[in-house]
Amino acid sequence: MAKNKDYIIEKLKQQIADFKSAPAVLNTGRVVEVGDGIARVAGLSQAMMSEMLEFKTAAGPVFGVALNLEEESVGAIILGDGKKIKEGDEVVALKKILEVPVGEGVVGRVVNPLGEALDGQGDIKAAKFYPVEKIAPGVITRASVNQPVQTGIKAIDAMIPIGRGQRELIIGDRQIGKTAIAIDTIINQKGQNMKCVYVAIGQKESKIAGIVAKLQEHGAMAYTTVVLAGASDPAALLYIAPYSGCAMAEYFLDKGEDVLIIYDDLSKHAVAYREISLLLRRPPGREAYPGDVFYLHSRLLERSCKLNKDYGGGSITALPIIETQANDISAYIPTNVISITDGQIYLQPDLFYQGNRPAVDAGLSVSRVGSAAQIKAMRKVAGKLRLEAAQYRELAAFAQIGSDLDKETKAKLDRGRRLMEIFKQDQYSPSPVANQVAIFFALTAGLLDTVPVEKIGEFEKGFSAYARNNGQKLLDEIAAKGELSEEMEKKLGTLVADFKSTLDYLIKKED
């Protein structure tokens, strides 16, 4: 006991002796006007754009960011409780950009955009502090995308594959399954050597509580950070939330790791920015959004990239989410973000209500990275699927007329119907890549043509269970090698045929 006490006293004395503080000259000002989450400050003649400010209030320091530099005053947003600030309070410019704590300490936690813990599990131990605003990596530092992000969703991994370092927009109306795609992707990153950051902007806190519970249930919180700026948080926090999340992801990027970041959703982010801009009296543009709303999202999404080996080889894959009103993808914010991202996953309400969930519209959805982000095995079996889905869509309208069709058209229709059945997937059940390769192989080889369309779903479930018991070695080989050789194809064919012969899928399962 005595040893510990002396050791601690020694350490303290040493730290105090080592303590160097050089007081610096700071620029100050006075609050002239405060309210609605923004403050106007007179003085601060040397404040810089996006500089962090400290309001010295009676109840302690409150932080803010200088956003409007005018001739006689500075307009700032308040990151915290604006009620503590009174007119006449002193404001100091801290000569740095807003920083957030980053490091391993944020993994598995729910934090607010300033890095404060919200899950009641103690303070965040930060390895470093990263600035929220950062210039995106330049052209020379980047490499082209070549590794896949396995979302576990068959429709996406087959037809609109996503690579590590790509930005893929998830766009659709409300209640269509946008967040569901994002959460399934996070759940499927188990064992894929990816860290995940889920940034919730303006979402209901109850929804986020449900999401965190689901992620914990599937063991995903072990590699996920949730940055939460809830619906009742001030617009200033909603504004910086995605940048904070990106800063936390950049810590792992700099270490050479791969990160998946999801911005849910950027429509609410644009609305929060519009609110701040209008309060700061910036001139409104189209739909009352400020003139730089494109820059708002482009500087955020450009920070998601794949770096080349000289810079660590890490990547940040971004899945921004945009909510459209009445399916209108030609509105202002959706068109902005579509032009920034490397592709979009478009979710259609028609498909949703017809029962095709996830309601991915294969025609309008695109991935500009494409098959460069697929493993060879998947490329082999799923390469033609996009075309087949498109052809089916063309013919399906035809088939509704009910006239006599020739054999080829009928075959295409049958194949297409089975393909659509395979693309249907339950929520929270991501499909491992080897299983996907197996089922697509079965479809394209014609092995599923004799299975009734309405039994395809059960066939697939049954086949998964069967393969786990009898063919796991083969599936592991496919997953490990990423290839499908002639021999493996033959083995896979035999496996499917064996399962078919058991005819288990024709008997309805009593669950």
Partner 1 sequence: MKITPKQYAEALVQALEGQSGAASEKLIANFVRLLAAQNDLGRAEQILERFGDVWRRQQGLVEAEIISARETSEKIQGAVRNFIARTTGAKTVSLAAKTDKALLGGFILKYGDNILDGSLKSRLAEMRIKLLND
- Of the candidates 30, 142, 282, 368, the residue annotated as catalytic is 368
Interface with partner 1 in residues 14-33 (CB under 8 A): 15-16, 19, 21, 23-29
Structure tokens at 364: 């309008």
The alpha-helical segments, DSSP class H, found in 67-217 are 154-159, 178-187, 205-217
Q: How far is the CB of 62 from partner 1 (least distance, A)?
A: 16
Q: 50, 66 in Cβ contact below 8 A?
A: yes
Q: How far is the CB of 9 from partner 1 (least distance, A)?
A: 13
Q: How far is the CB of 11 from partner 1 (least distance, A)?
A: 10
Give which of 470, 469, 472, 475 is closest to 488, Cα–Cα. 475
Contact flags string 41-80 toward partner 1, x per CB under 8 A: --xxxx------------------------xx--------
Residues paired with residue 318 on neighbouring β-strands, in sequence order: 167, 261
Q: Please provide the distance, in angstroms rounded to a whole number, between the alpha carbons at the two ends of the chain.
A: 61
CB nearer to partner 1: pick between 125 and 481 = 125
CB nearer to partner 1: pick between 42 and 118 = 42
CB nearer to partner 1: pick between 26 and 387 = 26
> Is 122 near partner 1 (CB under 8 A)?
no
Interface with partner 1 in residues 304-333 (CB under 8 A): none
CB nearer to partner 1: pick between 44 and 160 = 44
Active site annotation includes 368: yes
Give the residue, chosen from 32, 48, 69, 92, that forms a contact with partner 1 under the rule CB under 8 A. Answer: 92
Q: How far is the CB of 19 from partner 1 (least distance, A)?
A: 5
CB nearer to partner 1: pick between 58 and 139 = 58
Q: How many CB atoms lie within 10 A of CB 72?
A: 9
Give which of 115, 497, 43, 65 is closest to 273, Cα–Cα. 65
C-alpha 373/C-alpha 387 separation (Å) is 18
Residues in contact with 450: Cβ distance below 8 Å, sequence separation at least 6, in sequence order: 500
Total of chain residues touching partner 1, rule CB under 8 A = 19
Q: How far is the CB of 24 from partner 1 (least distance, A)?
A: 8
Instruction: Report whether the peptide linkage leading into residue 234 is cis, meaning its omega lies within 30 degrees of zero.
Output: no
CB nearer to partner 1: pick between 111 and 260 = 111
Give which of 315, 381, 339, 333 is closest to 147, Cα–Cα. 315
DSSP assignment of 291-331 equals: TTHHHHHHHHHTT--BB-GGGT--EEEEEEEEEPSTT-TTS
* Angle in degrees, CA 256, 261, 266, rounded to 5: 145
In eight-state DSSP terms, residue 261 is E
Relative orientation angle of helices 433-444 and 407-423, to the nearest 10 degrees: 170
148: helix, coil or strand? strand
Q: How far is the CB of 43 from partner 1 (least distance, A)?
A: 4
Q: How far is the CB of 101 from partner 1 (least distance, A)?
A: 10
CB nearer to partner 1: pick between 73 and 444 = 73
Q: How many CB atoms lie within 10 A of CB 338?
A: 17
Give contact residues for partner 1 (rule: CB under 8 A).
12, 15-16, 19, 21, 23-29, 43-46, 71-72, 92
Active site residues: 368
